[in-house]
């Protein structure tokens, strides 16, 4: 079955079939419908010869995901894959654990899979020039940037939110609702990563609001996983910390925190308000619906791939994009006033 057979079957020209296959606009809906049906009925498989000719050249773009099972990354990956695919490249997805070094892993992957470029989905914020010499292809940090490292701005690209500012904003929202005893749940205040920046944002917000810092209200659960967050929240409660509101630095941590609070007899939001950062689709279906600062997941994915592919094709230069979150009002924050 060739494209000629399909054309003959439909009584149209080969170039019409080609236009339908390539989704050109200049085909009437009726013809498009007829050709599409014929392609299905004949089980015709288009053989994109332009792509086949260059098949010995690599089309591989690496996506290194740090933190297996991070649900925010699960929301980004479908868009990343689509964006890579529609430009004629191939996504090579590689998942690593939080304790793995993503640069080392990517460098091995670059050689084994002949990568043309790498997107890091999550990572450390403290890369050094020396470390980076392991990688000889361009890369984009997606969801973070190299705040604590010493890379030159023109040595890499990044697409992220302002992590410190957003955590600060979340605390201000709680403050505006009348909360004064505000706890925070994060992985590690010195992780050289998201946790550290959001911790700084929490501390800054307290200062800006004129609230004293109480170490008893800060819980470092050691990880982003829901079991860690659940355990951390239980410890916060067990040591008798008194608070009317909690900032969890990710939606999935907030989901586990709400569960821990409720399991220990605290109503959310009546006894404790909870706010988070991420804006997972899922957290709309929590009880109560989570109030959260939604990261622009689609835009982050699209901008990361556009930036990387332009670099791979020698058409662009490194850039650092900072995107905004939007507050998604749920039912997990209550006003004390």
Residue numbers at the binding site for its own copies (CB under 8 A): 40, 43, 45-48, 51-52, 55-56, 59-60, 68-69, 71, 74-75, 77-78, 81-82, 85, 90-95, 101, 104, 107-108, 111-114, 130-131, 133-134, 226, 230, 252, 255-256, 258-259, 262, 281-282, 284-287, 289
CA distances from 158 to 9, 312, 323 (A): 50, 15, 11
Smallest separation, CB 255 to its own copies (Å): 5
Distance CA 242, CA 244 (A): 7
Which of 5/81 has CB closer to its own copies? 81
- Which residue lies nearer to its own copies by CB, 197 or 236? 236
| Burial group, residue 119, by CB count within 10 angstroms (0-12, 13-18, 19+) | buried
Q: Residue 207 or residue 284: which is nearer to its own copies going by CB? A: 284
- Tell the smallest beta-carbon distance from residue 203 to its own copies (Å): 28
Tell me the CA distances in angstroms from 272 to 129, 131, 140, 220, 261, one per residue in order.
45, 44, 38, 19, 8
**Closest approach of its own copies to the CB of residue 251, in Å:** 11
Return phi, psi of residue 64, to 5°.
-100, 115
Least Å distance between CB 153 and its own copies?
Answer: 22
82 vs 172, which CB is nearer to its own copies? Answer: 82
Q: Closest CB to its own copies among 129 and 154?
A: 129
CA–CA gap between residue 116 and residue 136 (Å, rounded): 9
| Integer Cα distance of 257 and 232 in angstroms | 8
The H or E element containing residue 326 is strand 326-328
Using the minimum distance from each CB to its own copies, give the nearer residue, 18 or 134.
Answer: 134
Task: Give the span between the Cα atoms of 180 and 245, in whole angstroms.
Answer: 8
Q: Between 124 and 203, whose beta carbon lies closer to its own copies?
A: 124
Given CA atoms 155, 158, 162, 167 in this order, what sign does their dihedral have?
negative
Q: How far is the CB of 295 from its own copies (least distance, A)?
A: 16
We find the least distance from the C-beta atom of residue 176 to its own copies, in angstroms, to be: 26
The half-sphere exposure of 22 on its side-chain side, counting CA atoms within 13 A, is 14
Residue 325's CB is within 10 A of a number of other CB atoms, namely 20
Q: What is the DSSP letter of 290?
A: P
Q: How far is the CB of 54 from its own copies (least distance, A)?
A: 10
Using the minimum distance from each CB to its own copies, give the nearer residue, 189 or 222: 222
Q: How far is the CB of 33 from its own copies (least distance, A)?
A: 16
**Tokens read off for 42:** 């004949």
Say which DSSP state 283 is in. Answer: G
């Amino acid at each position: 079955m060739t494209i000629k057979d399909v054309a003959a079957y439909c009584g149209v020209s080969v170039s019409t079939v080609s236009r339908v296959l390539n989704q050109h606009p200049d085909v009437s809906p009726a013809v498009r419908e007829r050709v599409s049906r014929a392609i299905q009925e004949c089980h015709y498989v288009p053989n994109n010869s332009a792509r086949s000719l260059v098949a010995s050249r690599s089309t591989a773009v690496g996506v290194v995901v740090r933190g297996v099972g991070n649900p925010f990354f699960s929301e980004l990956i479908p868009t990343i894959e689509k964006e890579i695919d529609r430009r004629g490249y191939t996504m090579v997805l590689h998942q690593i654990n939080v304790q793995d070094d993503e640069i080392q892993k990517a460098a091995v992957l670059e050689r084994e899979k002949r990568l043309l470029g790498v997107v890091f989905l999550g990572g450390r914020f403290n890369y050094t020039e020396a470390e980076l010499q392991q990688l000889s292809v361009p890369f984009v940090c997606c969801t973070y940037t190299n705040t604590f490292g010493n890379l030159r701005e023109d040595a890499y690209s990044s697409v992220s939110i302002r992590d410190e500012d957003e955590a600060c904003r979340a605390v201000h929202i709680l403050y505006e609702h009348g909360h004064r005893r505000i706890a925070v749940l994060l992985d590690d205040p010195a992780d050289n990563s998201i946790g550290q920046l959001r911790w700084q944002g929490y501390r800054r917000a307290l200062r800006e609001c004129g609230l004293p810092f109480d170490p008893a209200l800060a819980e470092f659960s050691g990880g982003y996983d829901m079991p860690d967050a659940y355990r951390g929240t239980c410890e916060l409660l067990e040591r008798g910390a008194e608070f009317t509101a909690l900032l969890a630095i990710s939606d999935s941590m907030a989901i586990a925190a709400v569960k821990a609070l409720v399991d220990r007899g605290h109503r959310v939001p009546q006894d404790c308000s909870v706010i988070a950062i991420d804006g997972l689709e899922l957290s709309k279906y929590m009880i109560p619906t989570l109030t959260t600062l939604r990261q622009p997941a689609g835009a982050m994915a699209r901008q990361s791939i556009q930036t990387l592919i332009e670099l791979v094709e020698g058409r662009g230069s490194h850039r650092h994009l900072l995107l905004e979150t939007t507050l998604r009002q749920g039912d997990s924050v209550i006003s004390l006033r």
